[in-house]
Chain A
Protein backbone atom coordinates (compact mmCIF):
# COMPACT_ATOMS: atom_id res chain seq x y z
CA UNK A 1 0.00 0.00 0.00
CA UNK A 2 1.59 3.24 -1.09
CA UNK A 3 0.44 6.55 0.27
CA UNK A 4 1.39 10.14 -0.32
CA UNK A 5 2.79 11.94 2.70
CA UNK A 6 3.85 15.55 3.22
CA UNK A 7 6.61 16.85 5.46
CA UNK A 8 4.83 19.92 6.85
CA UNK A 9 8.06 21.61 7.91
CA UNK A 10 9.62 21.48 4.43
CA UNK A 11 6.33 22.27 2.67
CA UNK A 12 6.07 25.90 1.61
CA UNK A 13 2.76 25.79 -0.21
CA UNK A 14 4.06 25.83 -3.80
CA UNK A 15 1.14 23.68 -4.91
CA UNK A 16 2.64 21.72 -7.80
CA UNK A 17 1.54 18.50 -6.09
CA UNK A 18 -2.11 19.50 -6.20
CA UNK A 19 -1.78 20.30 -9.90
CA UNK A 20 -0.23 16.92 -10.66
CA UNK A 21 -2.24 14.59 -8.39
CA UNK A 22 -5.61 16.28 -7.83
CA UNK A 23 -7.08 12.84 -7.10
CA UNK A 24 -5.24 12.79 -3.78
CA UNK A 25 -4.18 16.34 -3.00
CA UNK A 26 -6.11 19.58 -2.80
CA UNK A 27 -5.06 22.96 -1.48
CA UNK A 28 -6.50 24.74 1.54
CA UNK A 29 -7.26 28.43 1.34
CA UNK A 30 -3.66 29.32 2.26
CA UNK A 31 -2.21 27.23 -0.54
CA UNK A 32 -1.06 24.30 1.60
CA UNK A 33 -1.81 20.69 0.62
CA UNK A 34 -4.45 18.50 2.23
CA UNK A 35 -3.57 14.89 1.47
CA UNK A 36 -6.12 12.13 1.04
CA UNK A 37 -4.66 9.09 2.81
CA UNK A 38 -6.29 6.67 0.36
CA UNK A 39 -3.78 4.34 -1.29
CA UNK A 40 -2.07 5.24 -4.57
CA UNK A 41 -2.33 2.49 -7.14
CA UNK A 42 -2.10 1.66 -10.81
CA UNK A 43 -1.94 4.64 -13.16
CA UNK A 44 -1.97 7.07 -10.31
CA UNK A 45 1.45 5.88 -9.17
CA UNK A 46 3.16 7.43 -12.16
CA UNK A 47 1.50 10.79 -11.53
CA UNK A 48 2.32 10.58 -7.84
CA UNK A 49 5.95 9.81 -8.68
CA UNK A 50 6.11 12.82 -10.95
CA UNK A 51 4.66 15.05 -8.24
CA UNK A 52 7.27 13.76 -5.77
CA UNK A 53 10.05 14.68 -8.20
CA UNK A 54 8.58 18.06 -9.08
CA UNK A 55 8.11 19.41 -5.56
CA UNK A 56 10.50 22.37 -5.38
CA UNK A 57 11.43 21.53 -1.79
CA UNK A 58 11.13 17.72 -1.85
CA UNK A 59 8.41 17.81 0.82
CA UNK A 60 6.29 15.10 -0.82
CA UNK A 61 7.00 11.40 -0.42
CA UNK A 62 5.36 8.25 -1.67
CA UNK A 63 5.65 5.86 1.25
CA UNK A 64 4.91 2.23 1.71
CA UNK A 65 2.75 1.69 4.76
CA UNK A 66 1.59 -1.50 6.33
CA UNK A 67 -1.82 -0.13 7.27
Chain B
Protein backbone atom coordinates (compact mmCIF):
# COMPACT_ATOMS: atom_id res chain seq x y z
CA UNK B 1 0.00 0.00 0.00
CA UNK B 2 2.75 2.43 0.96
CA UNK B 3 4.62 1.53 -2.23
CA UNK B 4 1.63 2.53 -4.32
CA UNK B 5 1.27 5.73 -2.40
CA UNK B 6 4.93 6.54 -2.85
CA UNK B 7 5.53 6.20 -6.55
CA UNK B 8 3.56 9.14 -7.69
CA UNK B 9 5.15 11.54 -5.22
CA UNK B 10 4.05 13.16 -1.96
CA UNK B 11 1.43 10.92 -0.44
CA UNK B 12 -1.14 11.31 2.26
CA UNK B 13 1.55 10.27 4.76
CA UNK B 14 3.73 13.17 3.79
CA UNK B 15 0.98 15.67 4.48
CA UNK B 16 0.06 13.93 7.72
CA UNK B 17 3.62 14.05 8.91
CA UNK B 18 4.03 17.71 8.16
CA UNK B 19 0.74 18.52 9.84
CA UNK B 20 1.44 16.49 12.95
CA UNK B 21 4.91 17.98 13.17
CA UNK B 22 3.51 21.49 13.23
CA UNK B 23 0.89 20.58 15.84
CA UNK B 24 3.60 18.95 17.97
CA UNK B 25 5.68 22.12 17.82
CA UNK B 26 2.72 24.23 18.94
CA UNK B 27 1.94 21.81 21.79
CA UNK B 28 5.57 21.78 22.91
CA UNK B 29 5.57 25.56 22.95
CA UNK B 30 2.46 25.56 25.11
CA UNK B 31 4.00 22.92 27.38
CA UNK B 32 7.17 24.90 27.99
CA UNK B 33 5.16 28.02 28.75
CA UNK B 34 3.03 26.08 31.25
CA UNK B 35 6.06 24.46 32.83
CA UNK B 36 7.59 27.88 33.36
CA UNK B 37 4.26 29.19 34.66
CA UNK B 38 4.47 26.50 37.34
CA UNK B 39 8.01 27.44 38.29
CA UNK B 40 7.14 31.12 38.71
CA UNK B 41 4.05 30.05 40.68
CA UNK B 42 1.56 31.66 38.35
CA UNK B 43 -2.06 31.05 39.15
CA UNK B 44 -5.51 32.47 38.49
CA UNK B 45 -8.89 31.84 40.09
CA UNK B 46 -9.87 29.55 37.23
CA UNK B 47 -6.51 27.84 37.09
CA UNK B 48 -5.06 27.00 40.50
CA UNK B 49 -1.51 25.62 40.79
CA UNK B 50 -2.52 21.99 40.42
CA UNK B 51 -4.44 22.76 37.24
CA UNK B 52 -1.43 24.44 35.64
CA UNK B 53 0.70 21.47 36.67
CA UNK B 54 -1.80 18.95 35.30
CA UNK B 55 -2.18 20.90 32.03
CA UNK B 56 1.57 20.97 31.59
CA UNK B 57 1.73 17.24 32.12
CA UNK B 58 -1.17 16.37 29.85
CA UNK B 59 -0.22 18.73 27.02
CA UNK B 60 3.26 17.24 26.98
CA UNK B 61 1.81 13.75 26.75
CA UNK B 62 -0.44 14.80 23.87
CA UNK B 63 2.57 16.45 22.22
CA UNK B 64 4.50 13.19 22.52
CA UNK B 65 1.58 11.37 20.94
CA UNK B 66 1.69 13.78 18.01
CA UNK B 67 5.44 13.42 17.73
CA UNK B 68 5.01 9.64 17.72
CA UNK B 69 2.41 9.93 14.97
CA UNK B 70 4.73 12.29 13.11
CA UNK B 71 7.54 9.73 13.31
CA UNK B 72 5.34 6.83 12.16
CA UNK B 73 3.92 8.68 9.17
CA UNK B 74 7.37 9.89 8.14
CA UNK B 75 8.78 6.41 8.15
CA UNK B 76 5.79 4.85 6.40
CA UNK B 77 5.85 7.46 3.69
CA UNK B 78 8.30 6.31 1.03
CA UNK B 79 8.85 9.72 -0.49
CA UNK B 80 11.78 10.62 1.69
CA UNK B 81 14.16 7.77 2.56
CA UNK B 82 13.78 7.88 6.32
CA UNK B 83 13.67 4.62 8.28
CA UNK B 84 12.77 3.59 11.84
CA UNK B 85 16.32 3.90 13.06
CA UNK B 86 16.51 7.49 11.88
CA UNK B 87 13.76 8.40 14.34
CA UNK B 88 16.06 7.62 17.27
CA UNK B 89 19.60 7.69 15.92
CA UNK B 90 20.46 11.13 14.64
CA UNK B 91 22.43 12.10 11.55
CA UNK B 92 22.50 8.80 9.63
CA UNK B 93 19.50 9.47 7.44
CA UNK B 94 20.05 10.01 3.74
CA UNK B 95 17.37 12.67 3.69
CA UNK B 96 18.72 15.97 4.96
CA UNK B 97 20.83 14.15 7.55
CA UNK B 98 21.54 17.07 9.85
CA UNK B 99 18.01 18.38 10.05
CA UNK B 100 16.31 15.01 10.30
CA UNK B 101 18.90 14.14 12.89
CA UNK B 102 17.77 17.06 14.98
CA UNK B 103 14.31 15.56 14.91
CA UNK B 104 15.72 12.35 16.35
CA UNK B 105 17.52 14.39 19.00
CA UNK B 106 14.24 16.12 19.90
CA UNK B 107 12.45 12.81 20.08
CA UNK B 108 15.15 11.32 22.31
CA UNK B 109 15.08 14.34 24.61
CA UNK B 110 11.30 14.23 24.89
CA UNK B 111 11.40 10.51 25.66
CA UNK B 112 13.94 11.15 28.44
CA UNK B 113 11.77 13.93 29.87
CA UNK B 114 8.59 11.88 29.84
CA UNK B 115 10.09 8.64 31.16
CA UNK B 116 11.86 10.37 34.03
CA UNK B 117 8.71 12.30 34.87
CA UNK B 118 6.57 9.17 34.94
CA UNK B 119 9.12 7.49 37.21
CA UNK B 120 9.77 10.57 39.32
CA UNK B 121 8.86 8.98 42.64
CA UNK B 122 11.27 6.12 41.96
CA UNK B 123 14.30 8.07 40.81
CA UNK B 124 14.04 10.90 43.34
CA UNK B 125 13.70 14.61 42.91
CA UNK B 126 17.35 15.41 42.23
CA UNK B 127 17.80 12.99 39.35
CA UNK B 128 14.48 14.09 37.87
CA UNK B 129 15.39 17.75 38.09
CA UNK B 130 18.77 17.21 36.45
CA UNK B 131 17.14 15.61 33.40
CA UNK B 132 14.29 18.09 33.29
CA UNK B 133 16.63 20.99 32.56
CA UNK B 134 16.98 19.41 29.10
CA UNK B 135 13.46 20.64 28.39
CA UNK B 136 14.92 24.05 27.61
CA UNK B 137 17.14 22.45 24.98
CA UNK B 138 14.37 20.42 23.38
CA UNK B 139 12.41 23.36 22.06
CA UNK B 140 15.09 25.14 19.99
CA UNK B 141 16.18 21.77 18.63
CA UNK B 142 12.58 21.02 17.63
CA UNK B 143 12.32 24.40 15.95
CA UNK B 144 15.57 24.00 14.03
CA UNK B 145 14.42 20.54 12.96
CA UNK B 146 11.11 21.79 11.67
CA UNK B 147 12.64 24.71 9.78
CA UNK B 148 15.42 22.58 8.37
CA UNK B 149 13.39 19.57 7.24
CA UNK B 150 10.02 21.01 6.54
CA UNK B 151 8.99 21.56 2.96
CA UNK B 152 6.94 24.53 4.06
CA UNK B 153 9.85 26.46 5.51
CA UNK B 154 9.28 29.37 3.19
CA UNK B 155 5.55 29.41 3.60
CA UNK B 156 4.23 32.59 5.13
CA UNK B 157 2.01 30.89 7.62
CA UNK B 158 4.87 28.84 9.01
CA UNK B 159 7.01 31.94 9.34
CA UNK B 160 4.28 33.60 11.38
CA UNK B 161 3.76 30.47 13.46
CA UNK B 162 7.45 30.01 14.11
CA UNK B 163 7.75 33.62 15.14
CA UNK B 164 4.74 33.41 17.44
CA UNK B 165 6.02 30.26 19.13
CA UNK B 166 9.48 31.76 19.41
CA UNK B 167 8.13 34.90 21.03
CA UNK B 168 6.02 32.86 23.45
CA UNK B 169 8.98 30.80 24.59
CA UNK B 170 11.29 33.82 24.72
CA UNK B 171 8.73 35.70 26.79
CA UNK B 172 8.27 32.81 29.20
CA UNK B 173 12.02 32.41 29.61
CA UNK B 174 12.36 36.14 30.23
CA UNK B 175 9.77 35.95 33.01
CA UNK B 176 11.56 32.94 34.44
CA UNK B 177 14.86 34.81 34.50
CA UNK B 178 13.27 37.88 36.03
CA UNK B 179 11.77 35.95 38.93
CA UNK B 180 14.77 33.71 39.47
CA UNK B 181 16.76 34.12 42.64
CA UNK B 182 20.05 33.35 40.96
CA UNK B 183 22.88 35.88 40.79
CA UNK B 184 22.23 38.82 38.49
CA UNK B 185 25.39 38.01 36.55
CA UNK B 186 24.27 34.46 35.90
CA UNK B 187 20.83 35.60 34.80
CA UNK B 188 22.19 38.21 32.43
CA UNK B 189 24.55 35.66 30.95
CA UNK B 190 21.67 33.25 30.34
CA UNK B 191 19.54 36.02 28.83
CA UNK B 192 22.37 36.95 26.52
CA UNK B 193 22.78 33.31 25.54
CA UNK B 194 19.09 32.92 24.76
CA UNK B 195 19.06 36.13 22.73
CA UNK B 196 22.11 34.91 20.81
CA UNK B 197 20.43 31.58 20.06
CA UNK B 198 17.26 33.29 18.82
CA UNK B 199 19.25 35.74 16.74
CA UNK B 200 21.35 32.91 15.34
CA UNK B 201 18.27 30.91 14.42
CA UNK B 202 16.77 33.98 12.78
CA UNK B 203 19.88 34.67 10.72
CA UNK B 204 20.25 31.02 9.77
CA UNK B 205 16.65 30.97 8.71
CA UNK B 206 17.05 34.05 6.51
CA UNK B 207 20.06 32.57 4.76
CA UNK B 208 18.95 28.99 4.82
CA UNK B 209 15.43 27.64 4.81
CA UNK B 210 14.06 31.07 4.01
CA UNK B 211 15.97 31.15 0.74
CA UNK B 212 15.37 29.32 -2.48
CA UNK B 213 17.54 26.32 -3.00
CA UNK B 214 17.53 25.25 0.61
CA UNK B 215 16.28 21.76 -0.20
CA UNK B 216 19.40 20.97 -2.15
CA UNK B 217 21.74 22.46 0.39
CA UNK B 218 20.01 20.61 3.18
CA UNK B 219 20.80 17.29 1.61
CA UNK B 220 17.62 16.30 -0.16
CA UNK B 221 18.42 13.44 -2.58
CA UNK B 222 18.73 14.66 -6.20
CA UNK B 223 15.85 12.60 -7.50
CA UNK B 224 13.46 14.31 -5.16
CA UNK B 225 14.65 17.78 -6.07
CA UNK B 226 14.00 17.15 -9.71
CA UNK B 227 10.55 15.90 -8.92
CA UNK B 228 9.37 18.82 -6.88
CA UNK B 229 10.15 21.30 -9.60
CA UNK B 230 7.64 19.99 -12.02
CA UNK B 231 4.57 18.98 -10.12
CA UNK B 232 1.95 19.47 -12.69
CA UNK B 233 -1.61 20.31 -11.83
CA UNK B 234 -3.93 17.32 -11.94
CA UNK B 235 -4.03 16.09 -15.54
CA UNK B 236 -7.20 16.91 -17.41
CA UNK B 237 -6.46 14.96 -20.56
CA UNK B 238 -3.52 12.69 -21.06
CA UNK B 239 -1.64 13.14 -24.36
CA UNK B 240 1.30 10.88 -25.01
CA UNK B 241 4.76 11.90 -26.14
CA UNK B 242 5.41 11.68 -29.90
CA UNK B 243 7.43 8.66 -30.92
CA UNK B 244 10.35 10.96 -31.73
CA UNK B 245 10.84 14.70 -31.55
CA UNK B 246 13.38 17.53 -31.61
CA UNK B 247 13.15 20.84 -29.78
CA UNK B 248 15.15 23.87 -28.72
CA UNK B 249 16.04 24.10 -25.03
CA UNK B 250 16.53 27.36 -23.20
CA UNK B 251 17.02 27.77 -19.51
CA UNK B 252 19.37 28.35 -16.65
CA UNK B 253 22.15 26.50 -14.92
CA UNK B 254 23.01 26.88 -11.25
CA UNK B 255 25.59 25.24 -9.08
CA UNK B 256 25.33 25.06 -5.28
CA UNK B 257 27.26 23.46 -2.47
CA UNK B 258 25.67 20.41 -0.92
CA UNK B 259 28.09 19.81 1.91
CA UNK B 260 31.64 18.41 2.09
CA UNK B 261 32.95 18.26 -1.40
CA UNK B 262 29.60 17.75 -3.05
CA UNK B 263 27.98 20.11 -5.49
CA UNK B 264 24.50 20.22 -6.94
CA UNK B 265 24.11 21.32 -10.50
CA UNK B 266 20.65 22.25 -11.68
CA UNK B 267 19.66 22.84 -15.25
CA UNK B 268 16.14 24.09 -15.61
CA UNK B 269 14.34 25.28 -18.69
CA UNK B 270 11.67 25.07 -21.34
CA UNK B 271 11.40 23.31 -24.70
CA UNK B 272 10.07 25.14 -27.72
CA UNK B 273 9.87 25.15 -31.55
CA UNK B 274 9.04 21.56 -32.23
CA UNK B 275 7.28 20.54 -29.07
CA UNK B 276 6.49 22.60 -26.00
CA UNK B 277 7.43 21.41 -22.52
CA UNK B 278 9.64 21.62 -19.49
CA UNK B 279 12.86 19.90 -18.61
CA UNK B 280 14.86 19.84 -15.45
CA UNK B 281 18.07 18.02 -14.71
CA UNK B 282 19.72 17.85 -11.32
CA UNK B 283 23.01 16.17 -10.77
CA UNK B 284 24.99 15.77 -7.61
CA UNK B 285 28.61 14.91 -7.48
CA UNK B 286 32.15 15.63 -6.44
CA UNK B 287 33.71 18.83 -7.74
CA UNK B 288 36.68 17.95 -9.95
CA UNK B 289 39.93 19.89 -10.09
CA UNK B 290 39.78 20.74 -13.73
CA UNK B 291 36.23 22.05 -13.45
CA UNK B 292 33.26 19.81 -14.02
CA UNK B 293 31.56 17.35 -11.75
CA UNK B 294 32.14 13.67 -11.02
CA UNK B 295 28.52 12.70 -10.94
CA UNK B 296 27.29 10.43 -8.16
CA UNK B 297 23.54 10.80 -8.48
CA UNK B 298 21.08 12.52 -10.71
CA UNK B 299 17.45 13.24 -11.33
CA UNK B 300 15.59 14.24 -14.45
CA UNK B 301 12.03 15.45 -14.82
CA UNK B 302 10.47 16.08 -18.20
CA UNK B 303 7.02 16.83 -19.50
CA UNK B 304 5.46 18.14 -22.67
CA UNK B 305 2.32 20.21 -22.66
CA UNK B 306 -0.55 17.91 -21.75
CA UNK B 307 1.59 14.89 -20.90
CA UNK B 308 2.18 13.40 -17.48
CA UNK B 309 5.55 14.10 -15.84
CA UNK B 310 8.31 11.70 -16.89
CA UNK B 311 10.99 11.10 -14.32
CA UNK B 312 14.35 9.38 -14.49
CA UNK B 313 18.07 9.91 -14.34
CA UNK B 314 21.10 10.81 -16.44
CA UNK B 315 22.58 7.80 -18.25
CA UNK B 316 25.73 9.45 -19.61
CA UNK B 317 27.52 12.73 -19.28
CA UNK B 318 30.27 13.90 -21.66
CA UNK B 319 31.20 17.53 -21.31
CA UNK B 320 28.08 19.37 -22.45
CA UNK B 321 26.38 16.31 -23.95
CA UNK B 322 23.87 14.64 -21.71
CA UNK B 323 21.85 11.48 -22.23
CA UNK B 324 18.94 10.61 -19.97
CA UNK B 325 16.20 7.99 -19.62
CA UNK B 326 12.85 9.02 -18.17
CA UNK B 327 9.61 7.09 -17.57
CA UNK B 328 6.03 7.63 -16.60
CA UNK B 329 4.05 4.51 -15.83
CA UNK B 330 4.99 1.92 -18.43
CA UNK B 331 6.28 4.25 -21.10
CA UNK B 332 9.90 5.42 -21.31
CA UNK B 333 11.67 8.09 -23.33
CA UNK B 334 15.38 8.48 -24.16
CA UNK B 335 16.56 12.09 -24.30
CA UNK B 336 19.77 13.41 -25.80
CA UNK B 337 20.88 16.98 -25.12
CA UNK B 338 23.61 19.07 -26.70
CA UNK B 339 24.04 22.15 -24.57
CA UNK B 340 25.88 25.44 -24.80
CA UNK B 341 26.70 26.64 -21.32
CA UNK B 342 27.48 30.23 -20.48
CA UNK B 343 27.59 31.79 -17.04
CA UNK B 344 24.18 31.00 -15.74
CA UNK B 345 22.44 30.22 -18.99
CA UNK B 346 22.05 26.92 -20.77
CA UNK B 347 20.72 26.49 -24.28
CA UNK B 348 20.82 23.83 -26.97
CA UNK B 349 18.91 21.10 -28.70
CA UNK B 350 16.98 18.17 -27.29
CA UNK B 351 16.25 14.99 -29.24
CA UNK B 352 13.78 12.55 -27.79
CA UNK B 353 12.66 9.05 -28.75
CA UNK B 354 10.08 6.80 -27.12
CA UNK B 355 11.63 3.48 -26.19
Contact = CB atoms under 8 A, between A and B. Distances in A.
Is chain B in direct contact with chain A in the complex (CB below 8 A)? yes
Interface string A31-63: 000000000000000000000111011100000
A55 B125 CA distance: 10
Contacts of B49: 14-16, 19
Number of contact residues on B: which range applies? 10 to 19
Contacts of B125: 10, 57-58
Contact of B50 (A10, A54, A57): A54
A15 B125 CA distance: 17
B53 interface: yes
A6 interface: no
B156 to A, nearest CB: 40
A16 B57 CA distance: 14
Contacts of A20: 50
Number of contact residues on A: which range applies? 10 to 19
B211 to A, nearest CB: 44
Contact of B48 (A10, A19, A52, A58): A19
A20 B48 CA distance: 10
B120 interface: yes
A10 B48 CA distance: 21
Interface of B: 38, 41, 48-50, 53-54, 120-121, 124-125
15 contacts: A14-B41, A14-B49, A15-B49, A16-B49, A16-B50, A16-B53, A19-B48, A19-B49, A19-B50, A53-B121, A54-B50, A54-B53, A54-B54, A57-B125, A58-B125
Interface of A: 10, 14-16, 19-20, 52-54, 56-58
